[in-house]
Structure 1
Amino acid sequence: MSFLFPTYARWEVEPDSAKGSTIIGKDGKRYLDFTSGIGVCNLGHRPEVVQEAISKQLNRFWHVSNLFVQEEQEVAAKQLAKAASMDVVFFANSGAEANEAAIKLARKATGRTKIITFENSFHGRTFATMSATGQDKIKMGYGPMLEKFIYLPFNDVEALKQEIDTETAAVMLEIVQGEGGIHIGNKEFLNEVQQLCKENGALFIIDEIQTGIGRTGKPFAFQHFELSPDLVTSAKGLGNGLPIGALIGKKHLETVFGPGSHGSTFGGNPLAIAAANATMETIFQEKFLDSVEEKSSYIYEKIADNLLSLPVVKEIKQLGMMIGIETSIDLPALLKQLRDHGLLALPAGTNVLRLLPPLTVTTNEIDEAVKIIQTVMMNISETAV
């Protein structure tokens, strides 16, 4: 009997320890982790630089509340703002909270309520972020959603032109729709969104919860497209396993979130901030990001060379170390067999195998993972014939 609500379809794996790209189960089995805790452990499990920072802060203080000036928060905010070429930061506990803050700020800043998002998007599971999400399955059973969210086809410029107007508070999107199936925004569409927001006085919000903090080879995915959003949200990889989220904004929005306008008891917790600072100091180094791009090219070539010829593989979708393999194989069955062979991976949408390896993954580990996927896919294909 479990005393937990059954909100998760849990795997049969129970971790006992983890380091780098590897998880060891309680049964002693080794797993190559290409989930990174769903895009969280970008530096792998228990990186020394982060562990040392957390340990140091543990011996100072764990919590004092946001009534106090905390120098480390300022350091973290500066790192985030500089990396995003933006100006001000609000710290929360999660991606959903960061997106909730973005939605609140957009409505308060513009005095409008209409927000445009996109089909197959995922922005969180609070009422506001669930309302912003363009997937009906997320909302089933919860009654009426928050009003004035409009969902449009992703990468459809004409649909946006018809819907955006001077009553629109914001357009909110992911550069790569991770949960929705690894759908990547195209440059024409993304630039048109930015321009239409400017023309209509709407804020341009980019959800970088999964794509941010080096996942795509740049600090943030929007930088591949030379965009300049008003608000960016970050979480997942920011604390490399400790819970933290952030809303990053431009200077002109600073006064909208004045004293008493928004808050979070645990947002910017000292332990999470220590982890975030150590994580960013590592990932935002040019040499580190160059290595991510090199490994991104390597993993694409390995997948293309070994998997594209298989009849069950339809397409490879990738931006940096965010990889989707569209397949005709039943995803739950595929994922189960991959785990049986020692590889942990994720679903995306209904038919996409999602790989989110640590950014510190080695080429040998990439070779091993691709070999496992190839073996399992070939076995399933032969069994199905």
Structure 2
Amino acid sequence: MTALLPVPALLPTYAPYPFPLVRGEGDRVFDDQGQAWWDFYGGHCVCATGHSHPAVVKAVADQAASLLFYSAAAALPVRDAAAARITAFAGMDSVFFCNSGAETNENALKVALLLTGRGKLAAFDGGWHGRTLLALSVTDDPKITAPFAAHLTPCLRLPFGDLAALAAADFSDVAGVILEPIQSMAGIKTASREWFQALRAKCDASGTLLIFDEIQTGMGRMGTPFAAQFYGVRPDVITSAKGLASGVPMGALLMTAAVAAKLKGGDLGSTFGGGPLACAALLATVDVLEAEGLPANAAAAATRLRRELAGSAVTEVLGEGLLLGLRCADAPALKKHLLARRFLVGGSGDPTVLRLMPPLNISDEALAALIAAIRAFAPESK
């Protein structure tokens, strides 16, 4: 009988940093040796209000002390308040709460299939929407989609931002089209305002639901509450997660009244979705975003980075607000250079682009330190 190989208690997924993190404060995290790291990665675009913001910590602690959890079997004032607050913030009419970005996208796509009666979806080259089955159907990442190819829903895939290809596409049998307003994993790819407006018009003409996957672009990151406001387009559905509750797991399926009115009880469901702890964190998150002007801070930080990185090894700053890509001829070497100086940044599917997704309350001190570190980068620092 073959002996089983020993395995770790925690199944390995991503390659972690070569040090554990034990604490966070604002725009910095601290390792087990007490060293501080400037966090321009934000736990993958999650820590919208910074690490352990006092207002969020207090809201979570107070809620935990009064009612840690109850499901949707009971009406909860904190859930009702969270629904009213996030729909107003997003400029939408109704919300279904769940637990993660993938779950939110899965439900958005399910709604499109359910309400239209069609069997095909549409998405874009380079799009990344999650690991559940419908989300995999629209994700352009063969290494994770290929093993499940037989189980995926048919998907019409188009080039992102291409007006001619969009005009030529046939949406007559497409239930819903989903897109990231800025394609993050693909290397911070953007499209024109004209293209977004043409996409809205095409969906209107064909009866196709337009779904903005704002898992990363939402919650003030682009300088507006959501990218929908940035591009002046109102989608039928917005999906939100990551920064929604400052790191407490939460997803939100935000929809127009026209979509919500067609859904009936039991079409969607989630045991943990809209739990009181997450709802309290969401309320505190929106409070902080608005009271501290964090969307405006995101826009100002992007302007400063573009201005002060000109002439450095970074040849182009991509993206909007604090979802940015730094194009560099040797991005891996720049990432290594920054890690050695205790800056956390992200890679992407484009080997020439590093991603910045820091807390929206990133400080002037952190920006100045990053700019100085990048300007000090030279090829010999490999």
The answer to whether the 8 Å contact 1:302/1:367 transfers is no
User: 1: distance between equivalents of 2:199 and 2:292?
Assistant: 29
What does residue 107 of structure 2 align with?
A: 101
TM-score if structure 2 supplies the norm length? Answer: 0.94
Q: Give the structure 1 partner of residue 4 of structure 2.
A: none
Structure 2 residue 131 is matched with structure 1 residue 125: yes
C-alpha contact (below 8 Å) 1:16/1:25 kept by paired residues: yes
SS of the residue aligned with 1:256? Answer: coil
Match of 1:267 in 2: 273
Residue 46 of structure 2 is matched in structure 1 by 40
Alpha-carbon shift at residue 152 of structure 1 (Å):
0.9
Q: Once the 2 structures are TM-superposed, how far is the Cα of residue 382 of structure 1 from its aligned partner?
A: 2.1
Report how far residue 58 of structure 1 moved: 0.8
TM-aligned CA deviation for residue 355 of structure 1: 0.7
Using the TM superposition, give the Cα deviation of residue 286 of structure 1 relative to its aligned residue in structure 2, in angstroms. Answer: 8.3
User: What is the aligned counterpart of 2:247 among 222, 238, 241?
Assistant: 241
Give the stretch that moved more between structures: 252-261 or 230-239: 252-261
Find the counterpart in structure 1 of residue 356 from structure 2: 355
In the TM superposition, residue 141 of structure 1 has moved relative to its aligned partner by 3.1
Q: Deviations over 1:200-223 (max 9, x none)?
A: 111111010001001111100121
Shift of 1:168: 1.3
Separation (CA, whole Å) in 1 of partners of 2:223 and 2:303: 10
What is the CA–CA distance in structure 2 between the aligned matches of 1:268 and 1:316, rounded to whole Å? Answer: 37
- Taking the aligned partners of 1:22 and 1:47, their CA distance within structure 2 comes to 12
- TM-fit CA distance, 1:285: 4.7
Q: What's the C-alpha RMSD, in Å, of the aligned pairs?
A: 1.7
Q: Which residue among 291, 295, 304 is the counterpart of 1:298?
A: 304
Structure 1 distance, partners of 2:334, 2:105, is 32
Counterpart CA distance in 2 for 1:336 and 1:13 is 15
Which deviates the most, 176-185 or 289-298? 289-298
User: Which residue number corresponds to residue 78 of structure 1?
Assistant: 84
Q: Kindly indicate whether residue 275 of structure 2 is the aligned counterpart of residue 278 of structure 1.
A: no
SS of the equivalent of 1:165 reads: coil
Q: Does structure 2 retain, via aligned residues, the 8 Å contact 1:108–1:256?
A: no
> In structure 2, do the counterparts of structure 1 residues 228 and 267 end up closer, same or farther at CA, with 3 Å as the change threshold?
same
Say yes or no: does 1:345 pair with 2:351: no
Q: Report if the CA contact (8 A) 2:29-2:38 is conserved.
A: yes
Deviation, structure 1 residue 28: 2.1
Residues 383 and 320 (structure 1), Cα distance of their counterparts in 2 relative to 1, 3 Å cut: closer
CA deviations on 1:237-286 (whole Å, 9 max, x unpaired) are 10101000000001111133321111111111111111011001221358
- SS of 1:117 mapped into structure 2: strand
Separation (CA, whole Å) in 2 of partners of 1:239 and 1:102: 19
Are residues 383 and 309 of structure 1, via their aligned partners in 2, closer, same or farther at CA, if it must alter by over 3 Å?
Answer: closer
Amino acid at match of 1:258: K
- Identity of counterpart residues, as a percentage? 35
When residues 22 and 288 of structure 1 are mapped into structure 2, their CA distance, relative to the original with a 3 A threshold, is closer
The 1-side partners of 2:325 and 2:139 are apart by: 20
Alignment correspondent of 1:373: 374
Contact 1:58 1:271 in 2 (8 A): yes
How many angstroms apart in 2 are the aligned matches of 1:354 and 1:207?
Answer: 18
**Cα distance in structure 2, aligned partners of 1:349 and 1:258:** 40
Uncovered stretches (5+) of structure 2, i.e. residues with no partner: 1-6
1:68-217 alignment to 2 at 5 Å?
68-217=74-223
1:28 aligns with 2:34: yes
Show the counterpart of 2:234: 228
Shift of 1:12: 0.4
Aligned residue number for residue 365 of structure 2 = 364
Question: For 1:159 and 1:137, how far apart are their aligned partners in 2?
Answer: 26
CA contact (8 A) 2:299 2:320 kept: no
Say whether the 8 Å CA contact 2:312–2:374 is kept in structure 1: no
Aligned residues between the structures: 375
Q: With structure 1 as the length reference, what TM-score do the two structures score?
A: 0.93
- Structure 2 distance, partners of 1:197, 1:65, is 35
Write the distance in 2 (CA, Å) between the matches of 1:383 and 1:13: 22
Check whether the contact 1:112–1:169 (CA below 8 A) recurs between aligned residues.
Answer: yes
Counterpart Cα distance in 1 of 2:184 and 2:59:
30
Q: Distance in 2 between matches of 1:276 and 1:319?
A: 23
Residue type at the aligned position of 2:173: E
Structure 1 Cα separation of the partners of residues 337 and 20 of structure 2: 16
